[in-house]
Structure 1
Amino acid sequence: MTETDATAAFDAAERAMWAGRTEAYARSFGRLCAHTVPALLDAAGIAAGTRVLDVGTGTGTAALAAAERGALVRAVDADAGMVAEARRRGVAAEVAVLPELPFPDGEFDAVIGNFVLNHVGRPRTALAELRRVLRPGGTSHAFGSGGGRIAVTLWGARRGGGQELLGAACAAGGAVPPSYLPRLAPDEDFERTPQGLAGLLTEAGFGGAGVEELEWDHRATVEEWWGGVAGGVGNVGLVVTSQNAETTGRIRREYERLCARYDDGEGLLALPHVALLAFGTA
């Protein structure tokens, strides 16, 4: 398979993975991903009057948070179901698939992307497109003379114990990953470390690129955290839903066994997570 074929296959698998899963995402991983939104907006300098593009908006959580700060927000997502839900919540959202955005050069003061780079087949080209739509001069109250800002989050190589829970249950239950899992072409991949992500932004033309790690405990019930994968959300959801009934039962039993170590004593799981937050200037 050529690099072009591999990228096309990755993007097709991603589109198929998210289709029809808006509700399952919102009930599970959507709540998880909301943890990073305040830090994401701070890193992008979001304030009243800032013209913001939220890329990969999902159900619109980051876009709504930016609007609450008085920003002027537009949003895009590759999945029509996500866009419909974001619109229902009051977000000016439309369908668009990176690395092609329906906006002119320099349209925005800030671009944010909450866990979107994990889901594009050409991350470097996608970042270059995000730089294209950023205003070179920015706005004086938010950016001074440094130009528009980008802030993105990404699941990195260092993972918290809570992130490993579902994968560990799949392994212990004898799950066999399906062949159609999205796999990035080797030439498009990059180190999922602070240094690797900072280098990716620099390579795309952003100045002052920096990366920090965010750590938090995500709290959810046993059923809620299982509900995301049972609904086929994410790669681990594709793994679980591709198994036969016997294997799925084993995975579920292993999951319940492993959950015990994360019980917070109040009926919830306290699941440690780690993510990367990157930022830079156009």
Structure 2
Amino acid sequence: MTGATEAFDAAEREMWDGQAEAYAGSFARLCAHPVEALLDAAGVTAGAYVLDVGTGTGAAALAAHGRGARVVAVDADAGMVEAARARGVDARIAVLPELPFPDGEFGAVAGNFVLNHVGRPRAALAEVQRVLRPGGRVALTLWGGRNAGMELLGRACEDAGAVPPEWLPRLDPGEDFDRTAEGVARLLADAGLAEARCVGVGWEHRAGVEEWWSGAAAGIGNVGRVITSQAPATVVRIKQAYERLSAEFADGQGQLVLPCTALLASARVR
């Protein structure tokens, strides 16, 4: 594991520490949108034994339970695990690429926007394969394509003259991969998975102006790290620019309409 990978993973743990409530009140609804398609791709039906990796506040685990599946969930952050447990999820702390389960334990693994947050994505995929039964399915979502909400926050930072901090973590180039449908499908195929495919999933996320601002203002995501690293006066300017620029997405009823695109990848263990 390289120094860049260690720095990336450490930064992820630091970013999410204590952020469960802020996430639940901001970006959680955005990330929950493709959950049903994710579970379809993982083949989650009644009676399935499912692992939800990177459960966050438990959206995918709860949806799988609603289908009649038996579900175990893990997350790297203790606060997220506590939040998921409070909603009735059997959640445990685990940090990819290490899962505390025996070989071939599960029939399906679902990971909703988790691959973006691990420093060793290929090792994570290998570990997912290890805990899946032969013929078991894995499905993953990750960001790729347009996310108008994040673009809006980024434009506000630029407009206010915010300078990204030098310490902003980046994935080691040797661990990175092409964030396109073709690139992600190839990542899964190169990991030895069968029937690897990846498609784009698009939707319009609706959120209040303050709701959308709150997650980034709390320091979630790279744009959040940029915002919270600025001097107080710069943060004020960013907020003012955000409020002005957000008008182009307003629906006239107090909500922003933010087009989003994610990637949905799936494959089968041989």
Q: 2:108 aligns with which of 86, 110, 120?
A: 110
Question: What is the TM-score of this pair, normalised by structure 2?
Answer: 0.98
- Equivalent of residue 243 in structure 2, options 249, 252, 256: 256
Match in the other structure for 1:173: 160
Contact 1:163 / 1:272 at 8 angstroms: preserved in 2?
no
Task: Give the paired residue count.
Answer: 269
What does the per-residue CA deviation read over 1:157-209, in whole Å, with 9 as the maximum and x for residues that have no partner?
x2143331111111111111123322100000001000110011011111000
In structure 1, the partner of 2:136 is 148
What amino acid maps onto 2:245 in structure 1? L
Match of 1:256, SS?
helix
Q: Which residue of 2 aligns with 1:31?
A: 29
What stretches of structure 1 move > 3 A for 4+ residues in a row?
Answer: none
The answer as to whether partners of 1:48 and 1:70 remain within 8 angstroms in 2 is yes
Q: How does 1:82-93 map to 2 (within 5 A)?
A: 82-93=80-91
Q: Which amino acid aligns with 2:261?
A: V
Query: Which residue in 1 is equivalent to 2:254?
Result: 267
- Cα offset, 1:266, TM superposition: 1.5
Quote how far apart the aligned CAs of 1:49 are: 0.5
1:41 has 2:39 as partner: yes
Are residue 56 (structure 1) and residue 62 (structure 2) matched? Answer: no
What secondary structure, in the 3-state scheme, does the structure 2 residue paired with 1:279 have? strand
Indicate if the aligned counterparts of 2:150 and 2:223 stay in contact, CA closer than 8 A.
Answer: no
* TM-score for both structures, normalised by structure 1: 0.94
Within 5 Å, give how 1:1-282 maps onto structure 2.
4-136=2-134, 147-156=135-144, 158-282=145-269
The alignment yields a C-alpha RMSD, in angstroms, of 0.9
Distance 1:267 1:7 in 2: 41
Alpha-carbon distance, 1:232 to partner: 1.1
> In the aligned structure 1, how far is the partner of 2:237 from the partner of 2:128?
43
Q: Tell me how far apart the structure 2 counterparts of residues 27 and 231 of structure 1 sit (CA, whole Å).
A: 11
Between the aligned partners of 1:78 and 1:161, the Cα distance in structure 2 is: 27
Give the match's secondary structure for 2:267.
strand
Amino acid at match of 1:53: L
The answer (yes or no) to whether the contact 1:79–1:95 under 8 Å persists in 2 is yes
**Secondary structure at 2:141's aligned position in 1?**
strand
Cα contact 1:15–1:78 (8 A) shared by 2 = yes
SS in 1 for 2:266: strand
Unmatched segments (≥5 aa) in structure 2: none
Instruction: Tell me the distance in 2 between the aligned counterparts of 1:180 and 1:280.
Output: 35
What is the one-letter code of the residue matched to 1:61?
A
Q: Is the 8 A contact 2:53 2:73 kept in 1?
A: yes
- Partner of 1:47, secondary structure, is coil
Amino acid at match of 1:25: Y
Alpha carbons of structure 1 residues 73 and 192: separation in structure 2 relative to 1, 3 Å: same
